[in-house]
Structures are given as structure tokens and as C-alpha cells.
Amino acid sequence: MKIIVCVKQVPDTSGKLAVNPDGTLNRASMETITNPDDLNAVEAALKLKDETGCEVIAVTMGPPPAEGMLREIMARGADRGVLISAREFGGSDTYATSQIIAAAIEHIGLEKDDIVFCGRQAIDGDTAQVGPQIAEKLNLPQVTYAQDICKDGDTLTVQRALEDGYMTIKVQTPCMITCIKELNEPRYMSIGGIYEAYEKPMEVFDYNTLKDSPLIDVNNIGLAGSPTNILTSFTPPQKGAGQMLEGADQETCDKLAGMLAEKHMI
Amino acid sequence: MQNFDSSNVSAFKDVWVFCEQREGKLMPTDFELLSEGRRLADELGVKLVGLLLGDNVEGLAKELGGYGADKVIVADHQLLGVYTTDGYTKVICDIIAEEKPEIFLIGASNIGRDLGPRCAARLHTGLCADCTHLDVDVANYQEFLRNNSVLPEDRITKTNTARVLGQPHDVAKDLKMTRPAFGGNLMATIICPRFRPSMATVRPGVLKKGAFDEAKANAVEVVKANVELSEADMQTEVVEVVKAAKKLVDLVGAEYVVSVGRGISSNVEEGIKIAHDLADALGGVVGGSRAAIDSGWLTADHQVGQTGKTVHPKIYVALGISGAIQHKAGMQESECIIAVNKNASAPIFEIADYGITGDLFKVAPMLVEAIKAAKAAK
């Protein structure tokens, strides 16, 4: 049994964002982190590894520096890393991205009792699309928004979060599960783990590695394979600064309530 | 699904809305989407169609008509009573392949966000996630940019064409799907020029629901879809659906929201009580920042922000919330924002209409008194 966990390196959107004069994002100036939901996916995989001794493979698609993130995942306990990286893959939207990752998963080989874990969504794009699209391309059953996972033989019982509760879903392996932060508390890297991480195998899948896959075709990867195009990107106008009220006393509060009443806000 | 060609763009027509139901009840988002869909259908001069899946749900069709649907396609099947990815995806994709809608809108609920990408991948088309604004008409779109962006006029004028695979492409027929990315710091308008349907999931609570029209409700055309679905199509089994024991807070529909953040950490119990007092005085509900939810002070249904709910109440009061972009993303469209924070340089003051620098434990109770008095004086 093995678990493939898909992770993404993202700009840290909680930090200061830098926007270029043309309205695009200056990614170069931003710190990168492992996408938070993906760390929950990694932890879910490592918990199953603790229980069953299965192999955990961390997979990411991105530029060569993303290897550093894979080493961090290995320092937490993953057994090997796969970096999918090629110029041909650049400019992919979610459709093309999932096509490429699905091809990579097929290349690794998915067997009867294997599981694919993803995070619910990445904080840069916030689409939550890649997991389900990988599942569709691989014809795997999916359960998204997993907040609890219980494994019994080849059956997973998953609590899938809803806005007003949850559903309990039974699914058989192989399957694809997307994870949310309620699922678990990601573990830290250990010092020993960091040393070991650099001894563990790291593979790079480039265009040549995957080009023979039936999923890979110049028309369904990269920009040419992306059904969506960006028409415009822009920054919203900063709302004009409001009114700072002097003093934090009853008089100030009365004045504020008075202004709200005058504008029929209350 | 056989012989379906999503790239034969001219073969597609009409605007469709996926009308989500849970336990035989329509979701509020359905009405928001239908009202918006009505506008898009009018811009295109085509029909608005509601797509309703469930077990014995035909009776809901009339209400969908009242919010703008010309026609409702009902897919009734005992296996569609509870949402499953496999069942819903198969039935929807089969109907879409047959009927070829031009635009397909889905509410970005936990269910819609599971369903949308699966359908888009099967149909080989584009999906824009969590949209907050939609247009077809170019002039309307450009007007939207004038009011909601800092783009110069010459760049706005140029938005009537896009570069698609290196070639200029006239966007007059494309759905222009605008959405926030990077926590709301950047907006992007996405098109799906080469494939149909153009699919979008739409953030609940962002678009406005129109008025219910009795005449339209009575005039709606209801069509039963031919559903081919069996147990063999289902790869997952829903064992149970559990509702949260407590009544959930209706943040999205609230006119007044009082939210608390890290600023109540010194006395959480008192902070929550103060927020409730203020919410009661205003006639609203209590929300919280991610910090308040992650610390366990409030349950997740109270969360406002990028990973929580988007709200646009009349008045939003931020008590002890610094105003990280992830939080702002969920509340900056509020009509009036009042911020109370000890730190005069907190980013929340950049978007607040009224700011008070001070201790929320002292200011909020005074605000309660002031609001009560102002209301009594009316």
C-alpha cells in the first residue's frame, strides 16, 4: 500500500503582498510556504503510515525550488519526493494542472489499496478544483472536505464537512481525498528527519518522463491546454480612509450612534 | 456523453443554474444565482434554465420560476435524494451533453465546489471558482471596472478583446467571470473562450437575490429529464448526514454583524458576552475572525473571511480584529464598517468608515448604551 500526497508551494498570502504597477502580483518578492491544507493532507498520510507502515510519496508540480518544500515534507516523514517540472507545463490552469498531475500519478502507478491525498484548496488560487479534477481524470472516487478519516481494510469511512454538519461517506481504495484543517494537527519536522530528508530519493518528472502518457498531449497541458484565459487582472480600489473618532468615551459612542441613526443605518 | 464536443462553441445556448437542494429544501444561493442568471440571460437574449436534481423534488420548480427561471429541468431519481459526486456528475454531464447550455452556474457551497470541478473535467471545459461578479455584456463589464478597479481608462477600453493562444479574440460572447485571488488583494476576470459550457461557481451571499415574481412562478415550464443511473454508477456510499446539533448562525443573511478577534484574548468570556450584547442592540449576529475560531472561542460557523463566510451587512463591527487580508476578504463589502482596536495602526482602520482607538471592553458597552438610546429617541 502507498499514499500519494499532492502538495503545492504557495506565496504566503498572510504576509505583505507586492503588486506590480500593471496590476499583477510580484511573486518574486513574496515568501513561499507549503500550502496549509496540504500539510493536513501530509499529516493524514503520515498517520496512516504510522498505523500501517505504508509508503508515502510527496508529489508537487512547480519550478525547481519547490524541491525544498518536498524535502521539508520528507523531513516530516514522507519516504520519497516527486517534482513535476517542465517549461511545457507552465501556464496551466486547473484543468491542465490536474491532467499533468494525474499523468504523474499514473506514472508512479496506482494500485488497488492506494490512496491519493490533496489539500482542499491552495491559498493563492483558492479554487479547490485540482483534487476533484485529478480524481476525474484517473476515474477515482473522491471525497472532498475530509474532517475525519477511518481506515478499515480497503474501505475508508470519511466525515465530509458540510456548512451545517457533515456526511459520513464510505469509499473503497483506490480513491482521492481532499483534506481540511479540522482533520488533524500537522506534525513538525524533526532534526533527525531533516538529516534523513536529504538522503531520501527525489525524482524529477519532466516532459519527457510523462509525454507518452495518454493524458499528456500538447493540447491539454500548459497554456494551450488550459480552457480558461485571464482577460484582466486588477487591484480593487482602496476604500477611502474613514473617520477616526477622537476619544474612546461615552460621548464618542453617542456621537457615532447619532450619525448612524441620521443615516438610517440603525 | 458520447460525441460531445465542448469546442463547438456555437452549438451552445442558454444560461443554466444548478439549483442545489438539501433534504428537499432549496438553498438560498439558488435564488441569488437565478437572479444573476436572469440578468445574464437577458444580456444574451436567451432562456434561463434551472437544473434541479433530487428525489421527488418536482414541487420545488415553481419557486425557481418565481426567481427568474423560464424553464426548470427536473432530474428525479431515488439515488439523487442525497448528494453524491458520482450520481450528480453523471446525470448533470449527460443532460449538459444533450442540451448544450452556454453558461452553467453553480453555488460555491461545499457541495458545489465538489461537483463543479468534477463536471468541468468530464466535459472538458473551463471552470472559474468562487466568482463574485459576472457579466456577458462588454459595456456593462467595463462600467464595472470603472467603479471597482484602479485600471486606467485605456486599459479598460482594451478589455473588449483578449489574447487567446497568441491570437486576438473578441470577448463579446464570453462570460466574464470576476473573482478575488490571493485573499482578495488581486481580482482576476477569467473567460473560457474556446469551450462550452462556460462554468462558474459563485460565492454564496455575494450576489443579490431579486424579488419573487408570482406570475413568472406560474408561467415556468417544467421538464422531466430522462435519468439513467444505477447503483453501479456510485463509487461512494453515504452512510448518514448529520446536522450540527446547534442552530447555526446566519451570518450571510444578517444585516448587522459584530465580530471579535484576537483582541478579546485577555477575557474571552467577557469579550463574547459584549459582542452578543452589541449584536442584540443592533439586531444582528456575532461573527469572528479566524483567530477567534482557531482558538476555539467560537464555532466555525461564525467565521468571517476568506476561508469562512463572506458577509455584506449594513453595519459590520470589528472588535479587536487587526484586519488581516484574509479577514477583509470576507467583509470589506459591508455598507458601513466600525472598528474598535487598541492599536491605532491596525490595518482594519484602513477600510473602516468609523474607527475608535481604544479598549473594546470599555468602548463596546458604551456603544451598546449609545445605540439603545439612539434607537429609543427615534
**pLDDT for residue A158 is more than 70:** yes
Let me know: does B315 contact A260? Beta carbons within 8 Å.
yes
pLDDT of residue B247: 64
Per residue in A116-136, pLDDT (tens digit) is 999 999 988 889 999 999 999
> Cα separation of A175 and B25, whole Å?
30
Residues 6+ apart with CB under 8 A from A76: A42, A43, A46, A186, A187, A188, A189, A190, A193
**pLDDT for residue A20 is more than 70:** no
Cβ contact B165–A223 (<8 Å):
yes
Chain A and chain B share a number of CB contacts under 8 A equal to 285
Cβ contact B191–A228 (<8 Å):
yes
Cβ contact B109–A238 (<8 Å):
no
User: Which residue in the set A164, A229, A254 is minimally distant from B370, CB to CB?
Assistant: A254
User: Looking at the complex, does the CB of residue B369 fall below 8 Å from at least one CB of chain A?
Assistant: yes
* Distance set, CA A249 to CA A254, A259, B366 (Å): 9, 16, 7
Residues 6+ apart with CB under 8 A from A187: A43, A46, A76, A77
CB < 8 Å to B185, chain A: 13, 17, 19, 25, 235
User: Which residue in the set A93, A160, A165 is minimally distant from B126, CB to CB?
Assistant: A93
Secondary structure of residue A254 in the 3-state scheme: helix
Give the chain A residue nearest B149 (alpha carbons): A236
C-beta neighbour count of A95 within 10 angstroms: 26
Count of all residues that appear for chain A in the document: 266
For B311, the grid coordinates are 458577509
Give the chain A residue nearest B110 (alpha carbons): A162
Secondary structure of residue A37 in the 3-state scheme: helix
Across B192-214, average pLDDT: 93
Cβ contact B375–A245 (<8 Å):
no
How does residue B165 score in pLDDT terms, banded at 50, 70 and 90? very high
The rounded mean pLDDT for chain A is 92
pLDDT of residue B72: 98
**Which helix (DSSP H) or strand (DSSP E) does residue A259 occupy?**
helix A250-262
Interface confidence (ipTM) of the complex: 0.91
Per residue in B271-319, pLDDT (tens digit) is 999 999 999 999 999 999 999 999 999 998 899 998 888 888 989 999 9
- In angstroms, the separation between the Cα of residue A133 and the nearest Cα of chain B is 5
**pLDDT for residue B185 is more than 80:** no
SS3 readout for A95-144: HHHHHHHHHHHHHHCCCCCCEEEEECCCCCCCCCCHHHHHHHHCCCCEEE
Buried b (16+ CB within 10 A) or exposed e, A235-265: beeeeeebeebeebebebbbbbbebbbeeeb
- In angstroms, the separation between the Cα of residue A116 and the nearest Cα of chain B is 15
Secondary structure of residue A201 in the 3-state scheme: coil
CB < 8 Å to B358, chain A: 248
Cβ contact A234–B357 (<8 Å):
no
- In angstroms, the separation between the Cα of residue B149 and the nearest Cα of chain A is 5
Secondary structure of residue A76 in the 3-state scheme: helix
pLDDT of residue B245: 64
Cβ contact A232–B110 (<8 Å):
no
Could you tell me the pTM of the whole model? 0.86
Chain A interface mutation, best of B20, B92, B113, highest count of A Cβ atoms under 10 Å: B113
Secondary structure of residue A215 in the 3-state scheme: coil
User: Which residue in the set B159, B174, B242 is minimally distant from A166, CB to CB?
Assistant: B242
User: Looking at the complex, does the CB of residue B172 fall below 8 Å from at least one CB of chain A?
Assistant: no
Evaluated on CA atoms B155, B159, B160, B166, the torsion sign reads: positive
Chain A interface mutation, best of B237, B302, B378, highest count of A Cβ atoms under 10 Å: B237
Residues 6+ apart with CB under 8 A from A123: A10, A13, A35, A36, A37, B183, B306
- List the helix and strand counts (H, then E) for chain A: 7, 13
Let me know: does B72 contact B221? Beta carbons within 8 Å.
yes
pLDDT of residue B376: 87
Give the chain B residue nearest A102 (alpha carbons): B121
User: Which residue in the set A168, A232, A237 is minimally distant from B150, CB to CB?
Assistant: A237
Per residue in B110-124, pLDDT (tens digit) is 999 999 999 999 999
Q: B167 forms bridges with which residues in the sheet?
A: B164
% of residues, chain B, pLDDT over 90: 83
> Cα separation of B223 and B51, whole Å?
10
- Which of 233-262 (B) contact A at CB < 8 A? 235-244, 248
pLDDT of residue B186: 82
Chain A interface mutation, best of B5, B9, B85, B334, highest count of A Cβ atoms under 10 Å: B85
Chain B interface mutation, best of A6, A10, A13, highest count of B Cβ atoms under 10 Å: A13
Cβ contact A163–B301 (<8 Å):
yes
Cβ contact A142–B114 (<8 Å):
yes
Per residue in A75-104, pLDDT (tens digit) is 999 999 999 999 999 999 999 999 999 999
C-beta neighbour count of A167 within 10 angstroms: 22
Peptide bond into B197 cis (omega under 30): yes
How does residue A19 score in pLDDT terms, banded at 50, 70 and 90? low
Cβ contact A236–B355 (<8 Å):
no
> Cα separation of B283 and B256, whole Å?
7
Residue with cell 450571510: B252
The CB-side HSE value for B283 (13 A sphere, CA atoms) comes to: 9
User: Which residue in the set B129, B190, B363 is minimally distant from A129, CB to CB?
Assistant: B129
CB < 8 Å to B86, chain A: 141
The rounded mean pLDDT for chain B is 94
CB < 8 Å to A24, chain B: 186
Give the chain B residue nearest A132 (alpha carbons): B118
Cβ contact B192–A19 (<8 Å):
no
Across B209-227, average pLDDT: 95
CB < 8 Å to B236, chain A: 141, 143, 169-171
Let me know: does B231 contact B77? Beta carbons within 8 Å.
no
Let me know: does B130 contact B202? Beta carbons within 8 Å.
yes
Local structure of residue A188 (DSSP, 8 states): P
